[in-house]
Every structure is written in structure tokens, then in C-alpha cells.
């Protein structure tokens, strides 16, 4: 591998231990809502980068003729194959050296991956490389400039400044690094790489245990429906989704 692995999910049941029966139904539906809005309806070759066991596969399987599921974790990919069989082709490897040819893919997405990436610029460059001219990339980014993080900084409960563009590394969450990014920093990387930015969504706007208890998942999902677009200009949420396009030559 070209880089030290930040989070090795081999042997970890991400499906059961993180998503199932853990109160994350709202977050799951918020992700799906955004993907439905941003992914092209028809693609030839598509890849889910860092897709693990294929949690979101049902959102893109009918949109693409050929689907690849890429991840570092072979155990996650094995689980994906058990679930989806021949509907997907799995590929294991290093995100900084993707096992795809230049200009091979019509579309790709990368969701809940950036918080593991120490070198976001290198990963984005790889996504750009494997995408065809005119191809679409849907990328979710872990946002450091959220309201709770602003409140913690202003009240002195955190020394991480959510207002500057410096990458935040929350080692208290993971000893190997847990990275959050300022939207301007990320958007500069996209621009420098060569991507055109077509659309932005603010996602999981109401990610809060307290709100879940008071309002319930169904009400939060209803609120999310309009909030994703309405709050996009202020980049409010913990997840910011970008629809990017590689320019035609």
C-alpha cells in the first residue's frame, strides 16, 4: 500500500455493529435521499468507492450496466458478494492507487470515506483519473463547520477552530486519525484537480440523539427532504454532498 491504512475494517461487522439496530435509520435515509438526487439515472460503468458491504447498492444497481464495489476491507467485500452476488464486481485495494484504468468509469460515488483520509487531495486526484471525461462523481465530505462544532469552539469546549480551513484531526475519536474538512478547503481541492462543481447538498442536517428522541426518525426525514437543498448554501450539515463532473476534452 502507498499509505498507512487509517481504518482497517477487516474483521469488523460494519453492517451489524454500526448500521443495524444502532439508531441510525435517519442518517441512512438522508444518505439515500441525497444519492437519488445526485447520481445520473443511466451509466455504463459505475464504482462505489469505499462502499464496504454495499449498504447503498440498491440506490445505484438499477442505474448502471456494470457495478464495481471497491474497498480496502476484504471481509466487507466478501459480505457484499454474499448479499448481491453477480450484481456487483468487488475490487480490493488502496484508495490512493485505484485498480481502474484511466478514464474507465462513467460514474462513481464515495460516501462516508473522507473522514479516514489523511491525504484527501491524492484520493480526489485518483477519482478524477479513473473517471471518463463527462463522467459524474458524487462525493460526501465530513464537514468541520457545523453548528455544534462552532458552539463547542466558541464556548471553549474544543480547541478545533471550525472557521479556518485547516484540516481537523479528531484523534480522540480514532487514534489513527478522524478527519473533518472545511467546505472551502475541499472545494479548492476539487477546483485544483479539474472538477466542475454542479450541485451541493447539506445532508444529515438533524443528526442529533436528542432530536431523534423528541421528534422521531419519520419527522426528521420529512424535515431533511427540504433542508438538503435549502441549507446547502451555508454548508450547515455534518455531511456535505457534491455532484462533480470531469470536463469533456
Give tens-digit pLDDT for 175-220.
667 899 999 999 999 999 999 999 999 999 999 889 999 999 999 9
* DSSP structure class, residue 108: E
Q: CA-CA distance, 34 to 80, in Å (whole number)? A: 22
pLDDT average, residue stretch 130-155: 95
Count of beta carbons in the 10 Å neighbourhood of residue 66: 13
Whether the predicted pLDDT of 2 surpasses 60: no
Asked, for residue 49, whether it belongs to a domain, the answer is yes
Rg (CA), the chain: 17
HSE at residue 148, side-chain half, CA atoms within 13 A, is 9
Q: CA-CA distance, 160 to 247, in Å (whole number)? A: 36
Q: CA-CA distance, 223 to 227, in Å (whole number)? A: 6
pLDDT average, residue stretch 214-234: 95
Whether the predicted pLDDT of 167 surpasses 90: yes
Asked, for residue 6, whether it belongs to a domain, the answer is no
Whether the predicted pLDDT of 11 surpasses 90: no
Q: How many domains does the chain have?
A: 1
Please give the pLDDT value at position 4. Answer: 53
Q: Which segment, 22-31, 97-106, 170-179, is predicted with the most confidence on average?
A: 97-106
For residue 121, what is the domain's CATH number?
3.40.50.150
Whether the predicted pLDDT of 13 surpasses 70: no
Percent of the chain with pLDDT over 90: 82
- Do residues 102 and 128 make contact, with C-beta atoms less than 8 angstroms apart? no
Please give the pLDDT value at position 20. Answer: 74
Asked, for residue 176, whether it belongs to a domain, the answer is yes
Q: Which of the four pLDDT bands, split at 50, 70 and 90, describes residue 23?
A: confident
Task: Tell me the pTM.
Answer: 0.92
pLDDT average, residue stretch 31-36: 97
pLDDT in tens, 54-65: 999 999 999 999
Asked, for residue 248, whether it belongs to a domain, the answer is no
The domain in which residue 105 lies consists of 14-243
Asked, for residue 193, whether it belongs to a domain, the answer is yes
Asked, for residue 76, whether it belongs to a domain, the answer is yes
Whether the predicted pLDDT of 33 surpasses 70: yes
Distances (CA, A) of 236 to 42, 70, 78, 168, 233: 30, 29, 36, 16, 8
**Residue-wise DSSP of 179-241:** EEB-HHHHHHHHHHHTPEEEEEEEE-TT--HHHHHHH-HHHHHHHHHHHHHHTGGGT-SSEEE
Asked, for residue 4, whether it belongs to a domain, the answer is no
Q: Which of the four pLDDT bands, split at 50, 70 and 90, describes residue 14?
A: low
pLDDT average, residue stretch 229-247: 96
**56 membership: H or E segment, kind and range:** none
Mean pLDDT of the chain: 92
Asked, for residue 8, whether it belongs to a domain, the answer is no
- Do residues 198 and 244 make contact, with C-beta atoms less than 8 angstroms apart? yes
Q: Where are the beta strands (DSSP E) in the chain?
A: 43-49, 64-71, 89-92, 105-110, 131-142, 168-169, 179-180, 196-203, 239-245
Please give the pLDDT value at position 130. Answer: 98
Amino acid at each position: 500500500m502507498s499509505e498507512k491504512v487509517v481504518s482497517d475494517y477487516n474483521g469488523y461487522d460494519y453492517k451489524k455493529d454500526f448500521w443495524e439496530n444502532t439508531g441510525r435509520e435517519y442518517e441512512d435515509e438522508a444518505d439515500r435521499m441525497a444519492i437519488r438526487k445526485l447520481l445520473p439515472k443511466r451509466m455504463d460503468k459505475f464504482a462505489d468507492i469505499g462502499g464496504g458491504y454495499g449498504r447503498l447498492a440498491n440506490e445505484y444497481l438499477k442505474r448502471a450496466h456494470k457495478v464495481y464495489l471497491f474497498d480496502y476491507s476484504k471481509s466487507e467485500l466478501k459480505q457484499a458478494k454474499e448479499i448481491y452476488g453477480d450484481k456487483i464486481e468487488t475490487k480490493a485495494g488502496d484508495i490512493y492507487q485505484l485498480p481502474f484504468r484511466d478514464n474507465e468509469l462513467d460514474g462513481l460515488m464515495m460516501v462516508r470515506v473522507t473522514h479516514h483520509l489523511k491525504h484527501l487531495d491524492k484520493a480526489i486526484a485518483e477519482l478524477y483519473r479513473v473517471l471518463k471525461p463527462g463522467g459524474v462523481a458524487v462525493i460526501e465530505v465530513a464537514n468541520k463547520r457545523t453548528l455544534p462544532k462552532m458552539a463547542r469552539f466558541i464556548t471553549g469546549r474544543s480547541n478545533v477552530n471550525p472557521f479556518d480551513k485547516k484540516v481537523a484531526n479528531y484523534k480522540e475519536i480514532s487514534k489513527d486519525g478522524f478527519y473533518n474538512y472545511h467546505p472551502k478547503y475541499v472545494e479548492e481541492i476539487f477546483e485544483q484537480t479539474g472538477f466542475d462543481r454542479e450541485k451541493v447538498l447539506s445532508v444529515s442536517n438533524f443528526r442529533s440523539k436528542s432530536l431523534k428522541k423528541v421528534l422521531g426518525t419519520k419527522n426528521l426525514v420529512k424535515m431533511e427532504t427540504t433542508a438538503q437543498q435549502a441549507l446547502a448554501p451555508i454548508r450547515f450539515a455534518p455531511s456535505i454532498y457534491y455532484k462533480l463532473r470531469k470536463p469533456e476534452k
